[in-house]
Amino acid sequence: MAVPTRDDVDAIVGPATPHFAYQLRARVLELVEDLPENHEVRRYAEEKADLLDRLGHASSKAEEGPREPETRPGWEQIPSAAPADQPLLR
């Protein structure tokens, strides 16, 4: 198998949802497990694995666009409005 690239990591992480975050996290870490610890792609994959871990406790990656204000009517009824950079408490 060829040496994994950042594009390979992004192809796995890109369509991630909270429901599948941990399955994708496992795939990302498996993809780079044979790379040296200081390899750029392995470090990148580990950063994305951390994002997926946070996503597992969130409702979206929320990487693009503005966030909905918490003052929006009905906000308190939304079961989980936590983005991956501010996940729910574990």
User: Collapsing DSSP states into helix, strand and coil, what is residue 51?
Assistant: helix
Q: Residue 26 has what pLDDT?
A: 96
User: Considering only CA atoms, which of 61, 4, 62 is closest in space to residue 28?
Assistant: 4
* Gap between the Cα atoms of 77 and 79, Å rounded: 6
Q: Residue 65 has what pLDDT?
A: 62
Note the pTM of the prediction, 2 decimals: 0.70
**What average pLDDT does the structure give for the chain?**
83
- Cβ–Cβ under 8 Å, residues 60 and 37: no
